[in-house]
Every structure is written in structure tokens, then in C-alpha cells.
A and B are shown apart, each in its own frame.
Chain A
Amino acid sequence: MPGSTGPDCVIKTVMCADYNNLAAGTPRQIEPCRIYRCWLTSTQPIGRQCDNSDYTPGKSNEYRNTSYRALAARQRAQACPTDDVVVNDLRTSVKPDAWVGQPLERREDAALLTGNGRYADDLGTRPGTLYAAFVRSPHAHARIKSIDMTRALAMAGVRTVLVGSDVRDWSRPFVVGVKQPMEHWCLAVDKVRYVGEPVALVVAQDRYIAEDALDLIEVEYDQITATVDVEAAIGESAPLLHEAVGSNVVSDRQFAYGKPDAGFASAAHRVSLKVLYPRNSCTPIETYVAVAEFGSDGDYDVLSNFMGPFSLHAVMSLALKVPASGLRLRMPRDGGGSFGVKQGVFPYIVALCLASRKAGAPVKWVEDRLEHLLAATSSTGRVSDIEAAVDDDGRIVALSYDQLDDCGAYLRAPEPATFYRMHGCLTGAYRIPNLKVRNRVVLTNKTPAGLVRGFGGPQVYFALERLMQRIAVELNLDPLDVYRRNFINSSDFPYQAAAGALIDSGDYHAALDLAAKQGNLEQLLRRRDAARADGRLYGIGFAAIVEPSISNMGYITTVMTREARAKAGPKNGAITSATVSIDLLGAVTVNVASVPHGQGHITALSQVVADVFGLRPNDITVDVELDTRKDAWSVAEGNYSSRFAGAVAGTAHLAACKLRDKLAVIAAAQLECDAKDVVFSNGNVFLGQAPEQGLKFTRLASGPHWAPAVLPEGMSPGLRETAIWTPPQLEAPDEDDRINTSAAYGFAFDICGLEIDKDTGQVRIDRYVTAHDAGTLLNPALADGQIRGGFAQGVGAALMEEFAYRPDGSFASGTFADYLVPTAVEIPEPIIAHLETPSPFTPLGAKGIGEGNNMSTPVCIANAIADALGPDVDPEKIVLPMTPTRMIELIAPAETPPADFKPTMAGDGERFSTSGSIDIAAPLEAVNRVLHDARALARVIPGCRQLEALGDDRYVGDVSLSVGLVKISFHVEMSIVDEEPMQRIRLSGKGVGTLGTAEGDGRVLLSRTDTGTRLEYTYAFTLTGKIVAVGARMIESATGIVLQQLFQRLGRVASGRAPAAGLWRWLTRLFGRKT
């Protein structure tokens, strides 16, 4: 049971800030301090009520003794001889009984648990609000020839349809960080470049009608060959997505830091590896929501669950051709999960703004799950060739990356940030002086990539940490020795990495030791020995990651050359705002420009601010809604890049300090003392140690509202302070392309023990250990929540999740039955350990912690799998996600399918095949007649609306089928390509519909039986386009049933009876959507 043993005491000298002097604008004083705690997370109940009705001023409180801090103290006492224990709380401005650091229960939860959340779709809309539905491309790559919306507009309840020509008239293409002649509009204007790309937007009086009308919009396309594979996309002959660019590579940058070539030339060993990182997403359970209204002043008012970065507000405003003040964006209190993904709603916001303009009414849209999986966003796929120059004992002398990023069909802001977010710390946790990098940004016919939790980290560390494993294997070294020899030393912080990251603080060796000890690595090694002796596949993997937080606005300009940067002007910083105010009854309110999606901002901020004013967290009102027209906000803000703990909470602390200092001056006048001697504690304001002679906080704090004339001389009235902070360490890229990409860098060291089932290929995680250093923890229970969530997503990315595309660009992961997300039975509980080396660069010493396991877990599991599979398996065959099928391919010989009639298949779409036989109670001649009679066939084919014969062996007609969520209408052409009369018919056909195309080929054998005719069929077909996304499994099983039924109907028609419709009706019901 985790928590049953105490951790080692880790006592190191690090640099940290003197927080007394961290009021805004004060120069930071750096002085030596100590790590003051490390602990292991207990899996026992952790939270206590944040109410402190049992709080007795000046006394130790029982409930706090159940907290992390007490647990840590107990563990320290048990684990270390007292002489060695130095418990030194370095946060000198934070009292030992501070709220910060307590694993309090969440203030958000009472509302969320009782159905009283205020998510975007829960908020009211104006009377007359209309609803939108998007017509989306069924093709990965095609020219739009025409859009006919006549029938849709004639439908009752449909108000208007927005198309590309409107978009051209009223907006501009989105700006992007790479200057190339390519245009991305909110709706496709001439070409479609991915399956699911919005082509038109129907606006109707309700959502059901809008969705009905989608079927009535006829879009004619000219299909073009799609470019799907990223390595093929860079080839000379690859079809071009944006012809004017002349290539699918829209940016190609090379960097060298130190002397990499010399390092490689003189190295004792070179270890290299090619790895792929797939496209996946954290798929929040709440999908995109936006309500937009075009105002009479020509401005736009939007409510959406967009969460930032607010730099994208500029992208939207520019696209809408309004100043930033002309786009009012409001974000609700509660968000149903973002993980970065909600960033991708921004093009839809622009489309809805224009739809509102066209409709003359507010327009609302709630994305459905198919739309979300198909077209919302994706992590950036990456192909990395990584190589290290290594000396004999495993020290890395030089490192080289050659990376291709698969950004999808359009380079959509903030791309190509997946590359550049990590750029400064590409050397990870290691002292590697020489580095070279080539970054190529590639476009393919897939959904545009964007923010997905970990953003850049999973891609980099999947290459770097797999390489670390290979170095240990190839040099026959203990992997932990390789880590220890390469880690940045604790005495080296702040450490400037080769590419420019100024890594603020840490103790990587201590974190490794902590993980190994708390995870009982010794025991895992013994387990591995025993399992291997038994012939089982057991492996142990490791991963060390540096986790950047608080992104530098300037990092994206690293994609530009030095000259281009000089021309464009500098970009840097990570500006953050927070406002603290006191109302006329003396209560404190905090407002921040960070839009939470479950991270517990309200709880953590109330802890931070309560400490400053000597109040209880429940006394603090936290306003996390954001209105871009009313609240303080700026370019770098929003809920991304793990910036909450370090930047947002830190800035709230600074704002609270400003206001508290003002109150201290007011109190000093009343208490007749010096302002610096005023104490704020337990709801009172007093001098020194005499709370009984002090003032009630609420009385002191409400006074300035009612009697501004009695304020100390020279003091401005009002009790509202906004702090605006940016870390000065975040500068623009320098002349040599060095860039400090983030303000703070946390650390995680993970260990995974797992076993692969030889029979099923299933991976079973035996133990997962994750040791984190995120600086000061504001609320350890919230921090652990972030770790557990990131870990679960990491397990999903490692073993289950992938947006699958077919060679023709069809998307094959359109439901949660196809895109598999881990459930409670797949996620084990990780052992979590913490170490705290506070950041000297953030106001509270805190760093981000939310993305670490998205970065470390996939590769840690991959390393454990590599270890389990052993040296005989090609390391480059370890490809994410490591599904049982992929595992079986690596551990078991391939089975050869029995050879038989093989229908020839055209196209690269999703392939299906089925075969069977049926006895028909009708003579062979009658059956044969039906097969050649268009009118009879029309009655036989399920869903056939009409069928017409064109000559003896060709038919054309219309067929509608409902499979899964989607109703598919095909215009079908069939022909008999080969026939031996009365014995064998081969039928081939093609169907073209709104959701894609189908091509089929099959053979029917006829033979006489005692009771009539036996019909044996073998059919194969391919599907392309959007239809593939709804579920291969469902299509396969549905097809079997449909064909079976088709031939039953054939029998009935041939024997002169009416076809029974029961089964088909049942099928339609089973798979039907809202019909």
C-alpha cells in the first residue's frame, strides 16, 4: 500500500526567492534555501472540509494533522535519524499554518455534484436564438464544384445557410505564424482538405431541423488524391494541399547549438532511433459550444467554452475584421474538460459570428461527438529521427533531432507551436552541450492539429526517452546509471540548456532516488527475474521528463529566421493579470483571466488569497468567468501551458499583497503603529501579538468604501488592485536562436513494471511510479488529481488511443466505440511521490504539474514494453498505441488466411468483406430472373428507392441505409461484369453519396437443391469518406445482416411473395439516429 513506508529525507541546497520581497515591481532577491519536504501520496481519503469551524486561533488544529504536511512530518520522523532532519519552510511570507499546501476539499464540488454546474450549454440564450449544424466534407481532398442549398432553404424552420462565398465577403483567412501563400477560412471556400472540414452551415429554428436540413444540401465535389502519410507528403510527387506553396512542407528550419557535428564525429558510440508519435486527443466529455450574436454596431458577442490562449482572440478578431474590442468573448464558470482541446473551437466561433450576421439573430451550436472526433483537433503526429553521440559510460555528448510534424490540412494557430513550445528544453533533463535540430512542418489531408495536453512534450519525450533506453541497451549499461550520469546536477540550477531554456530549479537525482525507493524498484527487478525465469514477458521502463510551464509568447517566433524576427518585432513574456477587490461589506473577491476546466482554480485561489488577508478560503469569492470586455486580460492568458499554479495563482497572490499592503497602511493609522507591523490573521487585523486589541477584518476593509475622506493622506480611494506580472526571464529568441521557452520547468521521473500476455498481447501494468517536482504545491490533492488524470490519458495514448486514417484519408475513429478511451478497469492507481524545489521565478515558487504524465507515461510504458520484448524485437516496431493486435504481431508469427476467391478491390478506403449461403425456396430460373430484372431487384435491395436498367447488365439507382449514427444515401451504379448463366454472376458497383463513396465487388454462385436454389455469396467492398468514421465493427456486422436479408428477400420475390420488411425495420431502429 503506498504510504506505508516513509521516504528518504532529501536535503539539498537550492536557490529560491525571498517571497517577502516579491511584491510587484520589486527586484527579486535570491538567497540559498532548502527543500523542505518530500512525501508520498496516500491513497487514503485526503480532503478535509475547507470549512474551519473547528479552527482555534493560535492552536494546532486536529484536521491539519491528517493533512499531507503532517503525513510528511511523520514519515520524515520515521525515516530519518533526527540529527539529519532539517525541516525548513522556505516560504517566509507563508505562515506554517497557511492554507496554501493543504489538500482541502474543492469549493467547486457542491454545485457540480448536484447538477448545478454552469457549463456553456447550461446558460440561457436570447429569445429567437437559432441553431446551427455544419455540412462537412466526406472527402479528404476535393474541389468544391457547386453547393445547391435550394431544397434546404425551402424546408420549414430553416432560416439561412452560410457558405464559402459569405465567408469571403465578411471575413479574412486566419493569420498564422508561418508566412506562406495558404489560406484557412472558417468554411472551405474552394477546396476541402480533410474529411469533416466544414463546407456550409445551416441555421434553423432548432437543432433537429438544422440537422435534417444537412441532408438536403447538395455539394458537388471533384475528388483529388489525398496526401495522408507525413513522410509521403514531403515527396516530390505528393499531391499538394496548398498549390501556391509549391510543397507540403510549409516550414523547414535547422538549428545548431554548441558543436554538434564535432561531437558526433568524435563520439565513441552513436545511438539512433526513428519513432512515430500518433495523432490522438484527450477528448473532453463536453464538446464545443458557442453562441454568437452580430450586434447593430457591427461587433460580435460570443459565449463559448473556449479556454484560450487569448492570443487567439486576436486571430479571431482579425479574421472577423474587427478591432479586439469588436469581439466580446465570454466564458462560463464551468468547463467540461479541455486539456487544451477547447482551443480548437475558435474557427467555429468565427463561422457562427458570420452565421449570426447572415441570419440576423443569435446562433448557437453544440458540437456532437462524431464532429468532435472527426474534425475538432488532434495532437500533432510526429516522425522523429533522433541520434545521440555517446561516450563509453553513457554520457551524451551531442544530440540530433530530425523531426516532421503532421499538422493536418491547415497550419492553424497556435501551430507550429508543437515544435517550438519544447524547443528550449529539447535536451530534456540532461547536460548535453551540443544539439542540432531540423524541424519540418508538414501538411497532410487530416484534421488540423492543435493544443492537446502535453503539447509537444509527448512527441519530444517519446523520441528522447526511447533513445535513453536504447543507449542503456546498446552500451549494456544500467539505465539508472545512464540517467544519473546525464542529469543536470542540483548545484547547476538555474541551468541554461543548449537551446536556451533557463531551467529554474530541481533535484533530478533525488527525484530518481525517491521514485526508486517509493516504488520499490528492487522488488520489481526481482519480479522481472522471476517472470522471465518462468518464460513470461515482464519489463521495466523508465522516463525522465522536464515539464515546461508558463509559455513564452516569443517561442513561436523561433520558427522565423533571425532576419524575419527583426522585421516582425520582438515577442516575449507571459503576461498574467489578476484582480482582487473588497466590497462594501468587507468581503474579498478575486478575478483571474484563466478559464478553468476542472483544475480547481476556485479552491486554490481562495487558499492563496486567504493566506494573504488572514482569512479562511470560504471567505474569498473567486470569479473565474471571463468577459473580454470587462475583465483584465492579455495575450498570454487562458487555461493552457500549465500556467495556473505558477503564473495565475502567483499573480493573484501579488494582487492580494498590493491590496493587503494598502489596508495595512489604513490599519496602521487606526492602530497607531507602523504599517509593516500590522498582522492579518484569523479574520482580524492587529498589531504584533495582540489580536484582542485589533480590528475585525470586515470592518477595516469596508471602511474605505463608506468614508474615503478619512483615508491616510495621499492614498487613492478604492479597494481594487490588479496585478500584472510577466517573468523577466522570458525574453525573445536571441541572435543564435536560443529561446527560454517557458518560465518554469518541473520534473517527473517515472518507473513502470508491466507484463505482456503472450496469448492475447494484452499489456498489464503491474506497478506505475511517478515522482514529481512541481515546486511549491498549492493544494496537494489538486496536484495529485492532475497527476492521476494525466497518467490515465498517458495510458490511453500508450495502449489505446489513435485517430486512425485510411490511405485515402477517410477517418476511422468517429465514435467512442472506435476511438477507445480508458475506463476504470484499464487504469491502475499510480504510486505518486513529491519533491518540492520551489521555482525562483514564480511568485509562490509553484510550477505546472498538469501535463507531466501526458509526457512521461506513454514513453515509460513503451520502454517497459521494449524491455519485456527483449533485444530480438526491432525497437522501431514499438509504435503507439500498443494495442493487443500490435503486440501479438510482435510476439507471435503471422497467421496466413485461407486462400479462396478474392474479390478485387479498388481504392484505399476501409475494406469490408462478407460471405455466406442461403437456400431459397424457388427454382433457379426464377432467382436468375430476379437478378436480371431492375424492378424486381429494387424490391430486393434494402433501402432501394429506385433502380433503373441501362442495357442488359448495368443498373443505376438510389439507395439509403442507416448505419450507426448516420443515414447514408448513395447514388448507385452496378454492372454484371462476368456471368456464367444460371451458375455464377459477378456484380461490381460504385455508390457516391453525401457521406462518402462505396465500391463493391462480389460473386454469387447458384446451384439447384431439392427444395429450390442454393445461393452462395462472397462480397467485399470499400468505403471512403465520413461514413468510415462511424464504426468499422458496426458496418461489418450490419452488412452481414443486410446481405443475409437481401438474399432472403430475393428468395421471397423469386418465389412470388412480397418481401418481408420486418428485419430491415428492426435494423433501422437498432442503428437509426433521430428519425
Chain B
Amino acid sequence: MKKLAHAPHTIALRLNGVERSGECEPRTLLSDFLRYRLGATGVHVGCEHGVCGACTVTIDGAAQRSCLTLAVAAEGRDVTTAEGLAPVGEQLSVLQAAFRRHHALQCGYCTPGILMSCTDFLKREANPSESQVREMLSGHLCRCTGYTNIVNAILEAAATINAATAGKDPAGPEVDSQRSDAGSDV
């Protein structure tokens, strides 16, 4: 029994659109597997008991706590993390750009998880009210911002996405012109 628990398994999954695989024990948490095996360090671990939400990823499009998920349960699944949110060729997605515009993050540690919950949420709720956004956000703990800027960013992102979907706004996703060496901030 003990031996079986420690026998390494090879897990293959799709991470941010790329087929990836790595070895882990059956007891390895998905958060640890993504961070330390696959290098997705945008997955942050804040509590390891499912309350803080920092480790949230989407699995087949649904937001899930990667600290409460075993890596073996992600075999063959489609996993997305904050690293995979921006459209190809863009630095930031509409949602990410709205977060920057609204100062919706400070230390940024809880942010990747919030972005993943929002991504799932905005797909299900294209036109959310502020109270719906706050309700969704209540699954995440942020100790820096006091939340309001996050709420404003999400509402604005929803409006932008809606307008783009309706073909009213030609602006499309925000292109980052902040730095010429897009992608590396320092």
C-alpha cells in the first residue's frame, strides 16, 4: 500500500494549450505539480486548504483549487493558468489589461487565481452585476487592495468583452505599448 502511494506516475495534460507531461506521486497536489514539475509558477499557493483561492486554475474551463486537486486527477485534462490567458501575440488579455488599468492588484500574489475564477465566471455570466462579481470574488482572499478596484476591473472587462462580441467596439484586446520588450518587466 505504502509502496503504491509513492510509485511515480507520468501525468500528461494540456497546459495553456501545450501538451505537457511529468512524473509525480499519486499524492502530489496539482498545485505542486504545475509549479515545480511544469514550471507554471503563476499558480500561487496561499493556504493549502481551499479558502484563499490563490491557486485557482481552470480545468476543462472550470475554475478549481489546484491545492485541493491531485495531479493525477488532471491526467488528460485541459489546464489553464494565468500564464495562458493572453491571446497569442498579445501581452495581456482584456481582463488582465483592465486589472492593470484599475490598479486591481498590489502584491499580485492572489491575482492569478482571481483571474482564473473571473475567466470561468465571465464565460458563464457575460453581463454580471456588481453584487454578482463580489459574490464570485468572495471565494478569494486579497489582503492588499480592499477589492473595489478588482470589482471595477472585472465590470469593465465584461463590458469590453460584450462590446467586442457585439461588434460595437473595434478596439479589441488591449495592446501593450508600455514597453518595447514586452513580457519582461525588469
Q: Give Cα distance in the complex from A51 to B180, angstroms.
A: 10
Q: Tell whether B138 is near chain A: CB-to-CB under 8 Å.
A: yes
Q: Indicate with 1 or 0, residue by residue over A828-856, a CB within 8 angstroms of chain B CB atoms.
A: 01100000000000000000000000000
Q: Tell whether A55 is near chain B: CB-to-CB under 8 Å.
A: no
* Inter-chain contacts of A791 with B (CB < 8 A): 146
Q: Tell whether A792 is near chain B: CB-to-CB under 8 Å.
A: yes
Q: Among residues 738 to 792 in chain A, which have CB atoms less than 8 Å away from a CB atom of chain B?
A: 781-782, 784-785, 788-789, 791-792
Q: Give Cα distance in the complex from A782 to B85, angstroms.
A: 25
Closest Cβ of chain B to A473, distance in Å, is 30
Interface stretch (choices B119-127, B148-156, B164-172): B148-156
The chain B residue with its CB closest to the CB of A48 is B101
Q: Tell whether B82 is near chain A: CB-to-CB under 8 Å.
A: yes
A51, A113, A369, A792: the one within 8 Å of B177 (CB): A51
The size of the chain B interface, using a CB distance under 8 A, is 70
Whether A785 contacts B91 by the Cβ 8 Å rule is: no
* Inter-chain contacts of A46 with B (CB < 8 A): 102-103
Q: Give Cα distance in the complex from A788 to B102, angstroms.
A: 13
Closest Cβ of chain A to B157, distance in Å, is 12
Given the known A-B contacts A110-B92, A335-B107, are A815 and B44 also in contact in the complex, defined by CB atoms under 8 Å? no
Q: Indicate with 1 or 0, residue by residue over B73-85, a CB within 8 angstroms of chain A CB atoms.
A: 0000000011101
Given the known A-B contacts A114-B83, A789-B144, A792-B145, are A285 and B110 also in contact in the complex, defined by CB atoms under 8 Å? yes
Whether B46 contacts A285 by the Cβ 8 Å rule is: yes
* Inter-chain contacts of A823 with B (CB < 8 A): 137-141, 147
Whether A602 contacts B186 by the Cβ 8 Å rule is: yes
Q: Tell whether B128 is near chain A: CB-to-CB under 8 Å.
A: no
Whether A824 contacts B178 by the Cβ 8 Å rule is: no
Q: Give Cα distance in the complex from A286 to B35, angstroms.
A: 15
The chain A residue with its CB closest to the CB of B148 is A829
Whether A286 contacts B46 by the Cβ 8 Å rule is: yes
Q: Tell whether A623 is near chain B: CB-to-CB under 8 Å.
A: yes
Q: Tell whether A116 is near chain B: CB-to-CB under 8 Å.
A: yes
The chain A residue with its CB closest to the CB of B47 is A369
Q: Tell whether B19 is near chain A: CB-to-CB under 8 Å.
A: no
Q: Tell whether A43 is near chain B: CB-to-CB under 8 Å.
A: yes
* Inter-chain contacts of A220 with B (CB < 8 A): none
For this complex, into which size category does the number of interface residues on chain A fall? 35 or more
Q: Tell whether B59 is near chain A: CB-to-CB under 8 Å.
A: no
Closest Cβ of chain A to B28, distance in Å, is 8
Whether B109 contacts A337 by the Cβ 8 Å rule is: yes
Closest Cβ of chain A to B161, distance in Å, is 16
Whether A114 contacts B85 by the Cβ 8 Å rule is: yes
Q: Tell whether A943 is near chain B: CB-to-CB under 8 Å.
A: no
Q: Give Cα distance in the complex from A640 to B148, angstroms.
A: 25
Q: Give Cα distance in the complex from A50 to B179, angstroms.
A: 10
* Inter-chain contacts of A115 with B (CB < 8 A): 40-43, 81-83, 112
Whether B148 contacts A825 by the Cβ 8 Å rule is: no
The chain A residue with its CB closest to the CB of B91 is A110
Whether B178 contacts A114 by the Cβ 8 Å rule is: no
* Inter-chain contacts of B13 with A (CB < 8 A): none
Whether B41 contacts A781 by the Cβ 8 Å rule is: no
Q: Give Cα distance in the complex from A106 to B144, angstroms.
A: 15
Whether A333 contacts B149 by the Cβ 8 Å rule is: no
Q: Tell whether A873 is near chain B: CB-to-CB under 8 Å.
A: no
Q: Give Cα distance in the complex from A283 to B51, angstroms.
A: 13
Q: Among residues 472 to 486 in chain A, which have CB atoms less than 8 Å away from a CB atom of chain B?
A: none
* Inter-chain contacts of B156 with A (CB < 8 A): 45
10 tightest Cβ-Cβ pairs between the two chains A and B: A115-B42, A598-B107, A112-B108, A336-B109, A598-B106, A788-B146, A792-B146, A816-B51, A824-B137, A115-B82
Q: Apart from A43-B148, A115-B40, list 6 A-B contacts with CB within 8 A.
A: A45-B102, A106-B105, A107-B178, A113-B99, A121-B45, A789-B106
Interface CB pairs A-B, < 8 A, 15: A45-B152, A113-B96, A115-B40, A115-B81, A116-B183, A117-B42, A117-B109, A286-B46, A286-B109, A598-B144, A784-B103, A785-B106, A824-B147, A825-B138, A1075-B5
